[in-house]
Amino acid sequence: MDRSGTTRNRKNKLLLLLLAVALAWSAAGCSDAPAAPPERGKLKVAYYSQEMFDDQYGDYFMAKFPELEVEVIATSDTMGPGKNPQKEMDKLLDEQKPDLIITGSWEYQRLAAGGKLYELDSFIKQDKFDIENMLPAAIDYLRAKGGGKLYGLAPQFSTSVLYYNKGLFDTYKVPYPKDGMTWDDLFELAGKFRGAKTGTDRIYGFHQPLMMFKFWLVRSMGQDMGLHVTDAKGRTVTIDTEAWQKVFSQITEAWKNGSIPVIAGKNNKGRWDKEDIDYADLFSQGRAAMTISGPWQINQLQQSGSKIDWQIVKPPSPDGIGSWQPNFSLNPIFAIGAGTEQADKAWKVIRYFNSAEAAKVESKTSNSLLTRSGFVKTVDGRSMEPFYQVKYDDTLGGGMDLNPNIPSRFYEEFVKKADEQIERIMTGKSTVRQALQQLQKEGQQVLDEAWLAEPPEPEAGGGAAK
């Protein structure tokens, strides 16, 4: 969205917030005794930057917590060349002792396990805060990553659905995708678009954009099936299995027969500019019948001015009945810092941002997926209900998720090795079985070398705070 659109949304949000506050004051004025003014104080908030805090949350604090002076502790300072972000973050939290921490899925589990967060269950029970009417997958995720306890609450989530171009399916008389499909079903549908068009306007059955490496698409499908490239301890590569063979076989065959395009390695800048995104997004261009994506795809369709008639259904699963999505994530996650002496004030902020009142404001000013029940949006006439059918299962997972037990350099090298073997499959120099046997051998060597170069950190003790 451009800056004018952002400014307009912020003004709308502020007006809604001020109206809500005015109504609350009016209701309070009708009671026999005036409510005591809230106690003034200062709240230290750990967040990426002052600018981003002002843009995302400044209006909320101005309208709902005018008595609180906010000091933003910029977590962006923990990142940069030569820095270890995790060590720097722990050092920052230990030194600054923020009252409120605004984080996301990528950090929540580590902070909870490292004793950096304050348990919320006692506050939830004390206030009878309604978590029953929040997205079950969100609460399940937060408890699973918190070792059975809640150390944070999240008002928004993201996951993926299957988008399809209804016009293309009508033109080529192909049955529409539906809920409950398997990956086999998806590849069968994609295959029906082979030869639909040729040349620069060629139509593909399925396309995933922003894939800088061929293995990224293989990894994405493997994640959905709960496959791992290493064991849980991160010591042994586990790519040479029948399950991974099927994934490699299906995708490489689809590349060969033209059901899906091989667009990888075209962006060597290390980032995606708008023109790169527009070029790579064949679905929004009307050149791909299906794609799997999150809410980002809707924004991309709107901002690109796409005129296609798109629809959404649940994404495919290994058995056709599962609702688990490996890329399910929560952001932001509001948590209380373990070292705070103002847990009560921080909890009031968390309670508000996860309330129906805040969800009502957010639902009118953005396309965010809200965890609070009763706010499933309709966008351009399409219900967002398929997003909300997601479930979280902590026993599943896989692919190349950043396992904290594995040295980070392993991922970079393994992806390159995997792409080399995919190229050998594509050119007929290796069978899938031969390629995975070689990848298993080379990947294990890369993993062993990564461990030698980066020994494991000692385990953090102490557990999370209460």
Q: How confident is the model at residue 75 (pLDDT cuts 50, 70, 90)?
A: very high
Q: Token digits for 233?
A: 């301890």
The per-residue b/e assignment along 234-247, b for 16 or more CB within 10 angstroms, e otherwise, is beebbbbeeebbbb
Q: Which pLDDT value is given to residue 176?
A: 98
Q: How is residue 465 annotated by DSSP?
A: B
Alpha-carbon distance of 307 to 288, in angstroms, equals 14
Alpha-carbon distance of 35 to 24, in angstroms, equals 11
Element (H, E) at 290: strand 290-293
- In this model, does residue 26 exceed pLDDT 60? no
Domain residue ranges in the chain: 3-158+328-375, 161-326+397-453
Q: What crossing angle do the helices spanning 242-257 and 214-224 adopt, rounded to 10°?
A: 130
Element (H, E) at 333: strand 333-336
Q: Which pLDDT value is given to residue 269?
A: 56
Alpha-carbon distance of 50 to 154, in angstroms, equals 21
Q: Which pLDDT value is given to residue 375?
A: 94
Residues 6+ apart with CB under 8 A from 101: 45, 46, 93, 111, 116, 117, 334, 335, 336, 337
Give pTM, 2 decimals.
0.85
Q: Token digits for 357?
A: 């009142």
DSSP calls for 234-272: S-SB---SHHHHHHHHHHHHHHHHTSS----S---SSS-
Q: Which pLDDT value is given to residue 408?
A: 78
Alpha-carbon distance of 372 to 360, in angstroms, equals 9
Topology agreement, domain 3-158+328-375 and domain 161-326+397-453: yes
For 397-420, what is each residue's pLDDT tens digit?
A: 544 455 666 887 898 899 999 999
- Write the class of the CATH domain 161-326+397-453: alpha beta
Identify the three-state secondary structure at position 399.
strand
Q: Which pLDDT value is given to residue 215?
A: 94
For 133-186, what is each residue's pLDDT tens digit?
A: 999 999 999 999 999 999 999 999 999 999 999 999 999 999 999 999 999 999
Q: Which pLDDT value is given to residue 403?
A: 67
Alpha-carbon distance of 415 to 213, in angstroms, equals 7
In 104-261 the beta strands, taken as DSSP E runs, fall at: 156-158, 161-165
Place of tokens 């980032």: 271
**CATH fourth-level superfamily of 3-158+328-375:** Periplasmic binding protein-like II (3.40.190.10)
Residues 6+ apart with CB under 8 A from 403: 230, 232, 234
For 45-55, what is each residue's pLDDT tens digit?
A: 999 999 999 99
Distances in Å between the Cα of 130 and the Cα atoms of 54, 135, 281, 351 are 28, 11, 40, 10
β-bridge mates for residue 288, sequence order: 204
Q: 80, 69, 110: which is closest to 93 by C-alpha?
A: 110
